[in-house]
A and B are shown apart, each in its own frame.
Chain A
Amino acid sequence: MEIVLAIGIGVLVSSGVWLIFRPRTFQVVIGLSLLSYAVNLFIIAMGRLKSEAAPILSSGGVGDPGRYADPLPQALVLTAIVISFATTALLLVVLIASRGLTGTDHVDGRELDR
Chain B
Amino acid sequence: MIAPVAVPLFASAMMLVLGGDRRTLNATLNAASVVALVAIAIALLRGADTSPDGLLGVYRLGDWPAPFAIVLVVDRLTAMMLLLTSILASATLIFSLARWHRVGAHFHSLFQLLLMGINGAFLTGDLFNLFVFFEVLLAASYGLALHGSGTARVTAGMHYIIVNLVASLLFLIGVSLIYGVTGTLNMADLATRIPAIRAEDRALLEAGAAVLGIAFLTKAGMWPMCFWLPRTYAAAPPPVAALFAILTKVGVYIILRLWLLLFGDHAGASAHFGGELLLIGGMATIVFGAIGCLASQDMARLAAYSVLVSSGTVLSAIAMGPVDMTAGALYYLVSSTLGLAALFLLIELIERGREPGADLLAVTRELYGEEDELDDSKGTGIAIPASIAALGGAFICCTLVISGLPPLSGFVAKFALLTAALNSQPDSIPIAAWIFLVILILSGLATLIATTRAGIHALWASPDRAVPSVRLVEIVPIVALILLCAAQTMQAGPVMRYAQAAAGSLYTPHDYLRSVLGTENVLQHIRREPR
| Cβ of A17 to closest chain B Cβ, rounded Å | 9
What CA separation (Å) do A47 and B179 show in the bound complex? 8
B142 at the interface (CB under 8 A from A): yes
Contact residues, A50-99 vs B (CB, 8 A): 72-73, 76, 79-80, 83-84, 86-88, 90-91, 94-95, 97-98
Which of B21-29, B39-47, B155-163, B326-334 interfaces with chain A? Answer: B155-163
Cross-interface CB contact of B155 among A48, A88, A108, cutoff 8 Å? A108
A94 touches B179 (CB 8 A): no
Contact residues, B145-189 vs A (CB, 8 A): 146, 149-151, 154-155, 157-159, 161-162, 165-166, 168-169, 172-173, 175-177, 179-180, 185
Closest to B160 in A: A94
Given contacts A32-B165, A43-B176, A73-B176, contact A94 B135 (CB under 8 A): no
Closest to A36 in B: B169
Contact with A along B123-151 (1 / 0, CB 8 A): 00000100110010011001000100111
Cross-interface CB contact of B172 among A20, A43, A45, A87, cutoff 8 Å? A43
A73 touches B179 (CB 8 A): yes
Given contacts A79-B132, A98-B155, contact A47 B172 (CB under 8 A): no
Which of B128, B138, B169 has the most CB atoms of chain A within a 10 A radius of its CB?
Answer: B169
* Residue numbers in B under 8 Å from A36 (CB-CB): 169
B158 touches A98 (CB 8 A): yes
What CA separation (Å) do A43 and B157 show in the bound complex? 29
B179 touches A87 (CB 8 A): no
Closest to A35 in B: B169
Cross-interface CB contact of A91 among B131, B151, B161, B176, cutoff 8 Å? B161
Q: How would you classify the secondary structure of chain B's contact residues: helix, strand, loop or mixed?
A: helix
What CA separation (Å) do A94 and B139 show in the bound complex? 12
Closest to A40 in B: B172
B162 touches A20 (CB 8 A): yes
What CA separation (Å) do A55 and B457 show in the bound complex? 66
| Cβ of B142 to closest chain A Cβ, rounded Å | 6
A39 at the interface (CB under 8 A from B): yes
* Residue numbers in B under 8 Å from A46 (CB-CB): 176-177, 179-180
* Residue numbers in B under 8 Å from A94 (CB-CB): 142, 146, 154, 157-158, 161
Closest to B152 in A: A109
B158 touches A25 (CB 8 A): yes
Our count of residue pairs bridging A and B at CB distance below 8 angstroms stands at 92
Closest to B204 in A: A46
* Residue numbers in A under 8 Å from B154 (CB-CB): 94, 97-98, 101-102, 109
Closest to A33 in B: B165
Bin the interface of chain A by size.
Answer: 20 to 34
* Residue numbers in A under 8 Å from B161 (CB-CB): 87, 90-91, 94
What CA separation (Å) do A28 and B131 show in the bound complex? 23
* Residue numbers in B under 8 Å from A109 (CB-CB): 151, 154-155
A42 at the interface (CB under 8 A from B): yes
Given contacts A32-B166, A46-B180, A87-B161, contact A101 B172 (CB under 8 A): no
* Residue numbers in A under 8 Å from B176 (CB-CB): 39, 42-43, 46, 73, 76
* Residue numbers in B under 8 Å from A48 (CB-CB): 180
A87 touches B165 (CB 8 A): yes
A95 touches B169 (CB 8 A): no
* Residue numbers in A under 8 Å from B179 (CB-CB): 46-47, 72-73, 76
What CA separation (Å) do A25 and B155 show in the bound complex? 11
What CA separation (Å) do A83 and B142 show in the bound complex? 14
* Residue numbers in A under 8 Å from B132 (CB-CB): 79, 83
What CA separation (Å) do A86 and B142 show in the bound complex? 12
| Cβ of A85 to closest chain B Cβ, rounded Å | 12
* Residue numbers in A under 8 Å from B166 (CB-CB): 20, 32, 35
A30 at the interface (CB under 8 A from B): no
Given contacts A83-B135, A97-B154, contact A91 B180 (CB under 8 A): no
Cross-interface CB contact of A107 among B149, B158, B172, B175, cutoff 8 Å? B158
Contact residues, B55-102 vs A (CB, 8 A): none
What CA separation (Å) do A36 and B135 show in the bound complex? 14
* Residue numbers in B under 8 Å from A45 (CB-CB): 180
What CA separation (Å) do A38 and B165 show in the bound complex? 14
Which of B138, B172, B179 has the most CB atoms of chain A within a 10 A radius of its CB?
Answer: B172
* Residue numbers in A under 8 Å from B157 (CB-CB): 94
What CA separation (Å) do A32 and B132 show in the bound complex? 18
* Residue numbers in B under 8 Å from A90 (CB-CB): 139, 142, 161
Cross-interface CB contact of B162 among A28, A39, A47, A84, cutoff 8 Å? A28
What CA separation (Å) do A88 and B128 show in the bound complex? 20
Contact surface of B with A, Cβ cutoff 8 Å: 128, 131-132, 135, 138-139, 142, 146, 149-151, 154-155, 157-159, 161-162, 165-166, 168-169, 172-173, 175-177, 179-180, 185
Report, nearest first, the 6 A-B pairs whose CB atoms are least far apart. Answer: A46-B180, A109-B155, A46-B176, A43-B176, A101-B151, A98-B154
> Please, could you name 5 A-B residue pairs with CB atoms under 8 Å apart, sorted by A?
A46-B177, A76-B128, A86-B139, A91-B161, A98-B154
Given A80-B172, A107-B162, A109-B151, 6 more pairs with CB closer than 8 A: A43-B176, A47-B180, A76-B179, A84-B169, A91-B162, A95-B158
